[in-house]
Amino acid sequence: MKRSKILEERRKHVNPEIRKSIDLSFQIVDRIHEVLEEKGLRQKDLAAMLGKSEAEISKWMRGTHNFTIDTLVSIETALGAPILQVFHQDNLQTV
The predicted structure's pLDDT at residue 95: 47
pTM: 0.77
Provide the mean pLDDT of the chain. 87
Residue 33 has pLDDT above 80, yes or no: yes
The predicted structure's pLDDT at residue 90: 61
3-state secondary structure the chain: CCCCHHHHHHHCCCCHHHHHHHHHHHHHHHHHHHHHHHCCCCHHHHHHHHCCCHHHHHHHCCCCCCCCHHHHHHHHHHHCCCCCCCCCHHHCCCC
The predicted structure's pLDDT at residue 57: 96
Give the model confidence (pLDDT) of 56-88 as tens digits.
Answer: 999 999 887 889 999 999 999 999 999 988 776
Residue 9 has pLDDT above 60, yes or no: yes
